[in-house]
Every structure is written in C-alpha cells, then in structure tokens.
Structure 1
C-alpha cells in the first residue's frame, strides 16, 4: 500500500495553459447523468450515495434553490471530498471528476482506500480519471479555471473518453453558485463547492467522554481502549435537514 500511495501522488492531470473566456454551463449540463427512470430527486448530477442524495434533495427543496452547487460543504471538508470522489471514480460508477483546488490542499493519494457503502474502494488506475487544476485563489481565476476545465474535458485529448464526466468539485475561491457572497462578480459555478461557508458541515464523529465521577485510576485503565475508539471514529456531514455518517475502514 505504501508503494501505491507513493505512486498515486504522481497521478492526476494538471490542467495548465491559457484560460479561455466564455460560459460552458450548457456544455457541462450536456455531459451530466440524468437521474434513473422513476427517481424523484431533481439533483443533477446524480449523487450515487442514497443517504447523501436524499439530504441534498431535501435541502434544495426546503431552500427553494436550484443547484449548482449540488453540495456546499464547510468545516473539515477534505475527508468528505476524498470519500465522495472515491465513490464516484470507483466501480460500479466509474465517472471522471474535475477538481479545481484554489487552496492547493487536495491530495489525490488519499482517494486510495476511501470508499462509500455503495462502491468498491478506488483503485490506483481510477486516479487517472481525477483531473486537478490549481489556479490562484481569486474568484475570477477560479471561475475561469472551472470553465476552461469543462471545455478541456469536452474537447481535449485525455484518457477519460470512456468515462462520463460527473462534474466539477471546487475547493476555495469564494462562495459557490447561488449565493450573494460579496466580492463582486458572478459566483463560481461548480457541482460541489467546499470552503468556509456551506450548508453541509463536516466534523469528526463525537466520541463519548469519560463517565462523570470516574477516578484517575479508572481513566488510565480505560485509556488504551478509548484511544482505539477515537481512532476508529467516523465523520459526520450535518445539515438542517439531516446528517450523513461514514467511516473509511
């Protein structure tokens, strides 16, 4: 596994070069997967994790908003992104995904071994279908990178022609689509937006503390067992309409 992780650090394309102006919203919409027949969710692109898709649908219905972004994530969002993207690129879904990382913190090697209940863990070869662009943090440059990345996926020479493009994940670069946000200019268009503000907040699963009145001796005896519980704790993505819990092991 260590050799795989080391190799994985070199996998994932950098989308570099000149940024072209213009809206690619219609082009990206034409690539997105529509929900299966009989599905009641209006969310596009489809989220292949039922519990998470249900939360997104309920949120947008309650807020009377139309995505993008489908998910707006705050808090400790990187573990959530690794979990989601791993599910998207792995069997049985096998999508391609674009990540526009203005914070320069996304580590593609973390996708190996992450999984959701609805998929197999991502394999090393799946990482070739995650395309990472790292523009400057300014909103206009992030917005231009999202547009250029979508155009490159549609027309460029890349190795994901056999896969459907699920969409674009934007990390940083100002508030996502649909928000007021301040700072002027149009909002950044992405299918998932992760930053300081978002309706879905990610935190570590809470672990119950020592019982009230426990002595120092009792705490010391229980220390090793509790450390194992802390290390095995999962992650919780919480919103006003529901929460989603997952573990990577």
Structure 2
C-alpha cells in the first residue's frame, strides 16, 4: 500500500469511528490492509483433515465464516489440540482465547498432541503467545472482551508483536460474537469420545472378567471424534 492509498484509507477509517463499533473498525482495517481480499481474512486451519471438513461444510450449507469452526459437545479436547498445533512450530501463531465459562486450562496445551511435525518429538509450546481473557457471562461483556483483545493484539505493546496473530477463540459466547472459532452448547462440529465396540453377543461372565484388563486398555486408548454432516475428524491424546 503506497503513502497516498494509506492516507486515503486512514481518512476513511477515521470518518467511520463515530458511526461504527470498534469491532467494525478493526474488521475494516483488516480488509483495507489485505486489499479487500476476503479469503485472506480467514486464517487457515493447519490440520488438513479438519480444514477439509470446514471447507466442505461451508460449501454444502452455502454459508460463510467466521467462525471457521463452530464446536459443540465435549469441545475442550479439540480446542487444546487445535491451539497446540497453532502455537507450535512451524506455525508459531499467537492466539486469543475469550473464555466466558472459565474452563480453558492453558497447561493442557503442553501435553496436547500437535500435528505440526508428527515424525519428530513435539517441542514444548511457547505459552506466552496464548492470551486468555475470562469475561463475565453475557453478550455485552463477551463482545467487549473480544473487541478489547483485538485492539490490544493490533496496537498494544505486548510480547507477541513478532508473531502472527491467527485469530480469536470464544468459549460460551453465543451467536452474536465475532470470532474465528466458537465453542459452546450449539455448533455444527460435535465432539465426543471415539466409540469402542462392546462385548460380543453371547459372551459369558467369566470370559468378560478374563478380558476386562485388555478391554480397559482399549477404552483408555480411545481417541476423540469431531462429527459434522459432511464428515468426521478423529485424533488421539498423547
């Protein structure tokens, strides 16, 4: 963007401050800085199988994100898995978590599996680049936290200036809060434990007792599955 174009964009944005919200201003700024290309405003999911499901879902429903992912069910394991991948090498993103349910545990990111480089042992993630906000419940409080976080990431003096900001995850924020990922009671991607086959029909009590230790190992080793109308994604804890 040359100096004349930047001056024009700045003047237009200043003229919109009094009429629009901070959230709208930040979105306008992002659009201006990317030349109006909406595809660049949607950060990529660095987990190909999960990204493929998101792409197929939005094509099938003819809807457009954000959010890129709308997660329901037992969503925390998927959030840990996704955020761990985002902040790990080679991506090294910064991420904002607005957690209205006070359930997100940053320490879980240390042991959560990352798909960044599965052929090599994962390096400990740099948790300094995960910013967690815990606003009070309520649409206005959550929206204010999202706006404040966005302003801080764009203009604030923080330790992640050298990192690329991937986006914002909102937990328990309802439908009227803008974010790249939303998690709550409603969402098109439902997370649950991977199903484990039951005992075969006709098995005796003695056989069941004899095999229970082996079966418990299978249950303990079960992974997680995120299901949607266009496909499912399965992963395992480590």
Deviations 1:193-225 (A, max 9, x none): 000000000000001110111111111111111
Aligned 1:210-249 pairs, distance under 5 A:
210-249=199-238
CA distance in structure 2 between the aligned counterparts of 1:28 and 1:129, rounded to whole angstroms:
21
Structure with higher helix content? 2
Could you list the runs of 5+ residues in structure 1 that have no partner in the other structure? Answer: 1-20, 36-40, 176-186
Instruction: Count residues with an aligned counterpart.
Output: 210
What does residue 15 of structure 1 align with?
none
For residue 93 of structure 1, give the secondary structure of its aligned residue in structure 2.
Answer: coil
Instruction: Say yes or no: does 1:164 pair with 2:164.
Output: yes
Instruction: Say yes or no: does 1:26 pair with 2:28.
Output: yes
CA distance in structure 2 between the aligned counterparts of 1:232 and 1:82, rounded to whole angstroms:
18
CA RMSD of aligned residues (A): 2.0
Runs of 4+ in structure 1 displaced over 6 angstroms? Answer: none
For residue 47 of structure 1, give the secondary structure of its aligned residue in structure 2.
Answer: coil
Give the conservation status (yes or no) of the 8 Å contact 1:112–1:122.
no
- Cα distance change, pair 235–28 in 1 and its aligned pair in 2 (3 A): farther
Deviations 1:20-49 (A, max 9, x none): x622223456789xx9xxxxx888111111
- Cα distance change, pair 190–127 in 1 and its aligned pair in 2 (3 A): same
- Cα distance change, pair 29–45 in 1 and its aligned pair in 2 (3 A): farther
- Cα distance change, pair 213–229 in 1 and its aligned pair in 2 (3 A): same
2:192 maps to which of 171, 179, 203: 203
For residue 170 of structure 2, give the secondary structure of its aligned residue in structure 1.
Answer: strand
Larger Rg: 2
Deviations 1:163-193 (A, max 9, x none): 1000000000212xxxxxxxxxxx1000000
2:76 maps to which of 68, 73, 78: 78
Give the conservation status (yes or no) of the 8 Å contact 2:98–2:170.
yes
Deviations 1:114-157 (A, max 9, x none): 12333463615x11100000001101111111111011011111
Normalising by structure 2, we get a TM-score of 0.83
Give the conservation status (yes or no) of the 8 Å contact 1:98–1:168.
yes
What does residue 122 of structure 2 align with?
121
Normalising by structure 1, we get a TM-score of 0.79
